Amino acid sequence: MMHNLTIAEQIKGLKNREFSSLELTQHYLNRIDDSKLNAFISVTSEQAITQAKMADSILAKGNASSLTGIPYAHKDIFCTKGIKTSAGSKMLDSFISPYDATLTEKLNYQNMVMLGKTNMDEFAMGSSNENSYYGPVKNPWDTKKVPGGSSGGSAAAVASRISPFATGTDTGGSIRQPASLCGITGLKPTYGRISRYGMIAYASSLDQAGPMTRTAEDSAIILNVMAGFDTKDSTSANKSVPDYTQNLSKSMKGLKIGLPKEYFSEGLDKGVEKVVMKAISDYETMGAEVIEVSLPNSIHAIPAYYIVAPCECSSNLSRFDGVRYGYRCDDPKDLNDLYLRSRSEGFGDEVKRRIMIGAYALSAGYYDAYYLKAQKVRKLVSEDFKKVFKEVDVVMGPVSPSAAFDLGSVKDPVSMYLADIYTLSVNLAGLPGMSIPAGFSDNLPVGLQLIGNHWSEELLLNAAHQFQLKTDWHNSSPVD
């Protein structure tokens, strides 16, 4: 079946005329119609058919790019001209973007086919995809479980084979954690590697887009298109983009893997630990060397992150005031009432909670005590990684302390925040990180996290691809 082909295989199939982009696109649209996962907020069927027909005409002329005609799902945090961009919020339920995000433009330039916009935690705030205005996404491996967040819709779409790949964003683990919980490959590149222009901001110094795919090879193919400098984004890195598919076949012999002792302490599920350690031993059999390392300040990552991110979110979300665009309350009595009720009614509980935390931490008398101190801790977290990368090439460990948990089972926000304990440090330090399928615990997928030094996406993709050549976990599917 076409949906079981990887992107690399679909590219060959289109090139060899084994099927058309229209056939491929219609196949996925039919699967989306049959899906019960709530993975999509908007399905853009008519546009997808039009794009597929255009892609077929370009393919027929023989001047197509490698990704021409390949369908994909777009996280509903990226602006798409003429199509609703909601960020999973009631606040933007009626917002039709007047322009495309840079990432959207890049994918359009390749003549790819957008199937629709995927469901997500509101404004990317969450670890379970239960904070969406459009209801929770369900995990395709067990529909009573969460898919992870905030890119849960994207992860569920790829895992259930209703899209060959999807875009995601990662502010504190929101690509890697749902990739782990849904059993797919998810890559969060170095901060600044992919343009954030047109990506609705949560925390500007932490947000980073990335690909969510079945395999590391597919992620490399997609990253080639997604990465690059953008003059419209002041945080975009002016660095050349290598061909990420060039060095996938390099041997793991001599690779030095760092195992942080802090990642294997109390709180890590035993089943998850067993899967992760088996994956590490697989790398050893491939010739890699494992070295125990320490990231002593990683224990402070959660409190530091949950000061920095809410501070930035309270600033970024101040623009949603009921005046210019987005949700507006009915019959406001005065300007104050307009602001108060538009924001109270338009934002969900988790978003309001983080805005309040951020506004408090940035207020007079508390800025130094909280925000500046958190930024100092952030520096310490980054310095820990710098020391470790003098000894090792890549750091490995768990992505999440557990496999997918039950929908509605975590009521306490702080307990939910702890789900990001192994991923937050990577964002605070601006490093690249990956989750790759590594096995199962209680019949649920478990991901292995790979963390690299700045701009080492090539190395991570190489290490991930070599693991996937030796194992078959990435081919496991919850559907036929």
**Is 150 designated active site?**
yes
What pLDDT is attached to residue 352?
98
As a whole number of angstroms, the distance between CA 106 and CA 261 comes to 40
As a whole number of angstroms, the distance between CA 199 and CA 213 comes to 20
**Is 57 designated active site?**
no
Quick check: is 344 in a domain? no
Which of these, 99, 125, 211, lies nearest to 164 by C-alpha position?
A: 211
Q: Residue 117: enclosing H or E segment and its boundaries?
A: strand 113-118
What pLDDT is attached to residue 266?
87
Quick check: is 133 in a domain? yes
Q: What is the pTM of this model?
A: 0.97
Quick check: is 196 in a domain? yes
What pLDDT is attached to residue 185?
98
Residues of the domain holding 59: 2-254+457-475
CATH number of the domain to which 243 belongs: 3.90.1300.10
Quick check: is 156 in a domain? yes
Which residue in the list 42, 75, 188, 435 is annotated as catalytic? 75
Strand order in the sheet with 289-293: 40-43, 113-118, 71-75, 165-169, 209-213, 185-188, 433-441, 444-452, 394-398, 256-260, 289-293
433-459 tens-digit pLDDT = 999 999 999 999 999 999 999 999 999
**Is 75 designated active site?**
yes
Quick check: is 30 in a domain? yes
Which of these, 219, 230, 377, lies nearest to 296 by C-alpha position?
A: 377
241-272 tens-digit pLDDT = 999 999 999 999 999 999 999 999 889 999 99
Contact 433, 451 (CB under 8 A): yes
**CA 9 remoteness from chain centre:** 23
As a whole number of angstroms, the distance between CA 377 and CA 388 comes to 17
Residue 15 pairs with which residues in a beta bridge? none
Q: How many domains does the chain have?
A: 1
Quick check: is 192 in a domain? yes
136-160 tens-digit pLDDT = 999 999 999 999 999 999 999 999 9
Quick check: is 361 in a domain? no
Per-residue DSSP letter, 320: -
What pLDDT is attached to residue 18?
97
What pLDDT is attached to residue 66?
94
Quick check: is 284 in a domain? no
Which residue in the list 20, 127, 128, 174 is annotated as catalytic? 174
Which residue in the list 35, 42, 89, 150 is annotated as catalytic? 150
**Ranges of the chain whose pLDDT falls below 50:** none
Residue keyed to tokens 């890049």: 106
